[in-house]
Amino acid sequence: MAVRTETASLRRPSPALRWVRENLFNNWYNSVLTVIFGALFIWVGFSLLRWVFFRAEWEIVRVNLTLFMVGRFPRDELARIWVSNYMIVGAIGLMAGAATASAAAAAKEAGLPFVQSKLQDLIQRFWPVLLLVAALLQFSRTWTPTIMTVGMVVIGVAARFAGLHLPRVIRRYAWVLVALLLIGAYGALVWFGGFGWDDWGGLHLTLFVTVAGIILAFPLGLLFALGRRSTLPLVRLLSVTYIEFIRGVPLITLLLMGAFALKFLLPPGMDLSLVSRLVVAIMLFTAAYVAENVRGGLQAVPKGQTEAGQALGLPAWKVMRLIVLPQALRAVIPAMVGQFISLFKDTSLLVVVGVFELLAVSSIANNQPEFLGKGLAEVTLPFVAVIYWVGAYTMSRESRRLEKKLGVGER
């Protein structure tokens, strides 16, 4: 008996093999499909790898790498961009460190376990970004970017360490330091004979317009969402009119207006640069959608929550800020991040009004004498597409992570 059961268990296929049999080859037509799609998959993968590593002529990207990254930013002033990046990385590191330290302290006070995130988690979260940076660095023909990038990593790690070990009293004001660093990051580009937005370009400008658009559109959208629920009829009417007007107009129309019409709407003395007018247009556009998302979240919060807050004697604005909004915003994180991902991708529309952002660089590169007429859009467009994908995919994954993390109360 014992011998028999032993042989039976020996013959039992491994779990992986069983999964394959149960899911891929469980009947004849599924088996056929598996074979066909398997072959297709292998062929596409093979062709893609062959193209990337042997066929594609990456020369156009190598030669124009700086152009893709920063557009026409003066080449002898590139140090400004690195300094700016250092400050941004420093700010992020400091914030991450201080936040971790606060969370750990809170957990300790509450007597709860606290798991600090490991390097492995970071790699898992940001592998597309890391791969992209590695790819960009190998395109570079000098060592400077690699050295500078290593410098950024070092500064980021150091800032995080500093944030973790700040004395408690100072840690509470870490955000002031973070804000100063971010202002400094902007100033490094603009102050002391620096360059305004209209001289920025490439991926740098794309990222800036995205971040600026999000930072401006979010509070404005929030205001319109609250306005739409206001008890004052005039405020409500204004909000509804704004939201419905913007949602009825294509973004490209607003961008063209920003480029060519807004100038005449501005009062004489006031002169906004082209890029600022476009950022305003993007902000106005996104805010309307953010407002609708937030409104959905507000409606999803049960009335009992407001009543409980009121019954405790909290004034209306505190009920909104401390009880209703946190729950409403949490409920709409996926929708809102989706909106921000759209914003990120839609910055490519700026190419139409002659702004030097990432997509524009690809056509400029293709029109350079040495590359003209060689059909190299088949190289530059996939290159640009991958950069957009990395950004969009990372935002989407981070949103899911945030959602899960905040969902702790819903259990």
Partner 1 sequence: MTQNNVYSDATQARGDVIIEVQGVDKFFGDFQALKNINLNVGKQEVIVVMGPSGSGKSTLIRCINRLEKHDAGRIVVDGVELSDDIRNIQEIRRETGMVFQQFNLFPHLTVLDNITLAPRQVRNMPKNEAEEMAMLQLERVKIPEQAHKYPGQLSGGQQQRVAIARSLAMQPKVMLFDEPTSALDPEMIKEVLDAMQELAESGMTMIVVTHEMGFARAVANRVLFMADGEVVEVGTPQHIFENPDEDRTKLFLSQIL
Binding part of the chain for partner 1, among 46-54, 158-166, 321-329, 377-385 by CB under 8 A, reads 321-329
Q: Does 334 bind partner 1 (CB under 8 A)?
A: no
Which of 76, 65, 142, 48 is CA-nearest to residue 362? 65
> Per-residue x/- mask for partner 1, residues 87 to 126, rule CB under 8 A?
-----------------------xxx--------------
- Contact criterion met (CB below 8 Å) for 337 and 331: no
- The residue (of 146 and 305) whose beta carbon lies closer to partner 1 is 305
In order of 52, 56, 230, 236, 376, the CA distances from 382 in angstroms are 10, 11, 47, 45, 10
- The residue (of 286 and 399) whose beta carbon lies closer to partner 1 is 399
Site for partner 1 (CB under 8 A): how many residues? 26
- The residue (of 304 and 375) whose beta carbon lies closer to partner 1 is 304
Which tokens in the block code for residue 210? 């995205």
- The residue (of 370 and 410) whose beta carbon lies closer to partner 1 is 410
Cα gap 89→157, rounded to integer Å: 9
- The residue (of 183 and 322) whose beta carbon lies closer to partner 1 is 322
Which of 211, 230, 200, 218 is CA-nearest to residue 78? 200
- The residue (of 234 and 408) whose beta carbon lies closer to partner 1 is 408
Pick one of 49, 131, 312, 372: the residue that binds partner 1 (CB under 8 A).
312
Pick one of 305, 342, 394, 396: the residue that binds partner 1 (CB under 8 A).
305
Which tokens in the block code for residue 344? 């990120």
Q: Which residues of 260-270 are buried (b: 16+ CB within 10 A; e: fewer)?
A: eebeeeeeeee
Cα gap 145→129, rounded to integer Å: 16
Residues 154-213 that bind partner 1 (CB under 8 A): none
Using the 8-state DSSP alphabet, how is residue 187 labeled?
H
- The residue (of 134 and 312) whose beta carbon lies closer to partner 1 is 312
Q: Does 314 bind partner 1 (CB under 8 A)?
A: yes
- The residue (of 66 and 305) whose beta carbon lies closer to partner 1 is 305
- The residue (of 215 and 322) whose beta carbon lies closer to partner 1 is 322
Apex 133 CA angle, 116 and 355, nearest 5: 120
> Where does residue 328 rank: exposed (0-12), middle (13-18), buried (19+ CB within 10 A)?
buried
Pick one of 219, 302, 352, 393: the residue that binds partner 1 (CB under 8 A).
302
- The residue (of 79 and 312) whose beta carbon lies closer to partner 1 is 312
> Per-residue x/- mask for partner 1, residues 50 to 89, rule CB under 8 A?
----------------------------------------
Which tokens in the block code for residue 148? 């500078």
- In the bound complex, what is the minimum distance in angstroms from residue 115's beta carbon to partner 1? 16
- In the bound complex, what is the minimum distance in angstroms from residue 118's beta carbon to partner 1? 24
- In the bound complex, what is the minimum distance in angstroms from residue 69's beta carbon to partner 1? 41
Cα gap 83→5, rounded to integer Å: 69
Which of 229, 241, 407, 236 is CA-nearest to residue 317? 229
- In the bound complex, what is the minimum distance in angstroms from residue 297's beta carbon to partner 1? 12
Cβ neighbours, 10 Å, residue 101? 19
Q: Does 405 bind partner 1 (CB under 8 A)?
A: no
Which tokens in the block code for residue 63? 């030669």
Pick one of 6, 121, 307, 398: the residue that binds partner 1 (CB under 8 A).
307
Distance of alpha carbon 85 from the chain centroid:
16
- Contact criterion met (CB below 8 Å) for 351 and 360: yes
Cα gap 44→134, rounded to integer Å: 24
Residues that bind partner 1 (CB under 8 A): 110-112, 302, 304-305, 307-315, 318, 322-323, 326-327, 330, 406, 408-411
